[in-house]
Amino acid sequence: MQKNGASQNVLFYISTSASLAPPIVEGLGAAGLARNSQGWTRIILEKPFGRDLQGAHELNEIVSRVFDEPSVYRIDHYLGKETVQNIMMFRFGNSMFEPVWNRNYIEYIEITAAETLGVENRAAFYEETGALRDMVANHLLQLLTLTAMEPPVAFDADAVRGHKVEVLRAIPPMSKDVVARHTVRGQYGPGQIDGKPVPGYRQEKGVDPNSRTETYVAVEFHIDNWRWAGVPFYVRAGKRLANQLTEIAVHFKRTPQALFSRSPKDVHHNVITMRIQPNEGISVSFGAKQPGPQMRAIRVDMDFSYRDAFGGETPTAYETLLLDAMRGDATLFTRRDEVEAEWRIITPIEEAWAELPPPQFPNYAAGSEGPEAADGLIQYDRHRWRRLTRNGSDEDQ
Ligand code: BG6
């Protein structure tokens, strides 16, 4: 419908602190602005979607009293990134990867979001939030679901989101004991980034000098379903780390024989690395014969780079998502049950942390690889965190 040449469609965009979203949504409803007989009315909601399962549920209840679920677009900007959308394309648009994408071939999966930035001018928000809520509860669980989900019957909002929720439902909420073994918290102290000294978190403007807020988190998740039983998903996110780097590294099992190595320990394993940012691309590492008289394997990489293949300019995440919301395509937005399924996993960790002895903060220097305790999280000899190098992380071997 058009009036004076103008569209009557309405898109609200709410990006506020958690406490303000409910009264704003209720106010829109009370003012009669949530319905529009002349066109569509939609609402985009920015995170945080609550601080825990109960808060998220309450917010969803309020929103659902005012807007129908199909009109609600909960933004997680990671889903708009080209490289994140490409996870589904890589897996389901090719026939060679999916047959080996399961516990029979994959040993473990690492998902990393490392930043060199500190809290910048967001201390008030961050003090209340911490790395687990800020990054894992949304962005990293989204990367995990896209990596682990079953192939959808169609590329549409219901099919895709339905399968993502299935993954989240297969992650059992952790007991306190499991939280103690499968999670590590960190907070940065003073250090150096790019050769320049930077203060510790507790010295940042607006931060409590005794703050217990975590700026780093590592978690070992397990997905209890047919495809992934027994495959650890190691997930870590942190601020003020050695390099900026977001990636998913899929580690395949070693060959059953060490034909080209001195011992089984020397056998390289294949790794598919999806570099979400920067240096966007995908690499596949494999063993190749080192030229010379001996049959000796060394690791080499096949590399796809977005810049080389498509040039430098790709749409930003927000461009993509705002356009999708205007077109009415909710595939890359988080559904109500998905948000609550995320909090069902995260809230028990927060609750256990509140009861467990507080860690000795700060426990990593700005500009480092994170707390040493993160290495202790990994219990298998053959698994280890990749190092955070400038061009993407790497096997340290
Ligand atoms: C935001 C977090 O959601 O994501 C920030 O609140 C974080 O703390 C940011 O820095 C990271 O986004 P990106 O796109 O830079 O990886």
Instruction: Give residue 106 CA to ligand 1 midpoint distance, Å.
Output: 29
Decide which of 47, 75, 103 is a domain's last residue.
Answer: 75
- Short-list 284, 253, 322, CA closest to 75: 322
* Residue 332 near residue 80 (C-beta atoms within 8 A): yes
pLDDT above 50 (res 270) = yes
DSSP string for residues in 21-54: HHHHHHHHHHTT-S--TTS-EEEEEESP--SSHH
Strands, E, within the chain: which ranges?
A: 2-3, 6-7, 10-14, 41-46, 72-75, 106-114, 183-186, 188-189, 191-193, 196-198, 216-221, 233-238, 245-252, 271-277, 281-289, 297-305, 364-365
> Same domain for 216 and 355?
yes
> Same domain for 120 and 249?
yes
Decide which of 42, 75, 108 is a domain's last residue.
Answer: 75
Ligand 1 neighbour 214 (Cβ under 6 A): no
Determine the residue of 47, 49, 135 to mutate for testing ligand 1's pocket, defined as the one with the most ligand atoms within 8 A of the Cβ atom: 135
- Short-list 346, 129, 334, CA closest to 239: 129
Ligand 1 neighbour 247 (Cβ under 6 A): no
Supply the CATH number for residue 114's domain.
3.30.360.10
What percent of the chain is predicted at pLDDT more than 70? 97
pLDDT for the residue numbered 256:
85
What mean pLDDT do residues 378-394 have?
A: 81
Whose tokens are 């995170």? That residue is 47
Q: What is the pLDDT of residues 153-177, one digit of tens each?
A: 999 999 999 999 999 999 999 999 9
Ligand 1 neighbour 134 (Cβ under 6 A): yes
Ligand 1 neighbour 115 (Cβ under 6 A): yes
392 phi/psi in degrees, rounded to 5: 115, 155
- Short-list 384, 359, 332, CA closest to 156: 332
Measured distance CA(192)–CA(164) in Å, rounded = 39
Decide which of 23, 44, 75 is a domain's last residue.
Answer: 75
Find the domain containing 56 and state its range: 10-75
Q: Residues 99, 87, 325, 154: what is their CA dihedral angle, to the nearest 10 degrees?
A: -10
pLDDT above 90 (res 308) = yes
> Same domain for 218 and 300?
yes
Tell me the one-letter amino acid at 138. Answer: N
What mean pLDDT do residues 261-267 have?
A: 74
Mean pLDDT across the chain: 93
> Same domain for 238 and 340?
yes
What mean pLDDT do residues 340-347 have?
A: 97
> Same domain for 151 and 294?
yes
What mean pLDDT do residues 19-29 have?
A: 92
Domain count, the chain: 2
Report if residue 321 sits inside a domain.
no
Strand partners, 383: none
pLDDT above 80 (res 277) = yes
Active site residues: 139
pLDDT above 80 (res 265) = no
pLDDT above 80 (res 263) = no
Q: Which atom of ligand 1 is nearest to the CA of 47?
A: 3
What mean pLDDT do residues 293-322 have?
A: 91
